[in-house]
Amino acid sequence: MILNTKEENRRGSRLILAMLLTFLIIALVAIAILWQQAARQLVASHQRPLVEQAQRQAATHFRQKPEAIARMTFPIVLQLSDRTCVELRPIRRQDGGYLACYDTGTGQVVEESVRSWVLSD
């Protein structure tokens, strides 16, 4: 009878361990999926060309490559009736950034603001 109790305890412990490992694996998969969703840029596909144009223009102002600007900033796009504005904010908390507004009809820059920041990789 004592042997059965020890064996039952082992089975119970193994079952609990298996359940905990299953829960851990499910949690890690959920975190990985949610992390990808949270890290993606919230820019519509039709706004992507304007964001890339703003990144190129910011790169000339900050004397960086557009890829560095894209890596170190996140875009915020605001669609107005007569213009679309793209703001590039630094990922790291610091002052500065770049703002460009484009005419909806022509795509030409109608407003531009550059606030300097120090970009470092």
In this predicted model, what pLDDT tens digit does every residue of 89-110 receive, in sequence order?
888 766 678 999 999 999 899 9
Average pLDDT over residues 44-65: 92
Find how far residue 96's CA is from the centre of its chain.
Answer: 19
CA separation (Å) from 106 to 21, 32, 44, 49, 110?
58, 41, 19, 14, 10
The mean of the pLDDT values for the chain is: 86
Domain boundaries, the chain: 1-40, 45-115
pTM value surpassing 0.75: no
